[in-house]
Amino acid sequence: MSQGWKPECAEDDLLVAFVAVKRGFQATAVAGDPGRFPVLHHLAAAGPTRQGHLAEAIGLDASTVSRHVRALLDEGLVEVSRDPQDGRASVLAISAAGRDFLAAHLTRSRQVLQAATASFSDAERAELIRLLRSLADSLIDLKETV
C-alpha cells in the first residue's frame, strides 16, 4: 500500500514549499479574491490602462483579467472611462475606494510578513529576498525563451 506522494528531488520540495507559502499567505493576508491585488497594484502604479494591456502587464489571460475587472467594477474599486487617445476604446483606473483597499491590503501583508519572518535575522531576510528575486528573474527569462 502506498504511503502517498513523496518529493523525488529538490524541485519537488521547492514546488511543495511554494504552494504552502502561497496558501499560508493568502489565508492570513489576502482579503477576498487574491486576483484583485495584481490588477489594483498595476492600475495604481501605471495609471489608466486598457484591459488588454493590463492582462499582458500582469501576465494573465484576457478572460481571467476580465473576470477580475468585472468584480472590481462591481465593488467600486476600479472605474472605466473612454480612452482619450481612442474614443472607441475604454481604459481602467483604480478608484479612491480601490486605493484605500490596496493600502489596507499592503498594510496587512506587511504585518503578516513581519510576523512570519520575526525569527529571521536581517541577513536571513536579505538572503531570502535576494534568492526570491533571482528565482523570479530566472522564471521570467525562461518564459521568454520557451
Domains of the chain, first to last? 32-145 (1.10.10.10)
Q: Report the distance separating Cα 77 and Cα 94, nearest Å.
A: 6
Each residue's pLDDT tens digit, 70-92: 999 999 999 999 988 887 889 99
pTM value > 0.85: no
Instruction: Name the residue with cell 501576465.
Output: 59
**Cα angle value 108/139/136 (rounded, 5°):** 35
Beta bridge partners, 91, equal 81
Which pLDDT does position 12 carry in this prediction? Answer: 93
* pLDDT (average), residues 21-30: 85
Q: Residue 30 carries which DSSP code?
A: -
Helix axes 62-74, 36-46, angle to 10 degrees: 80
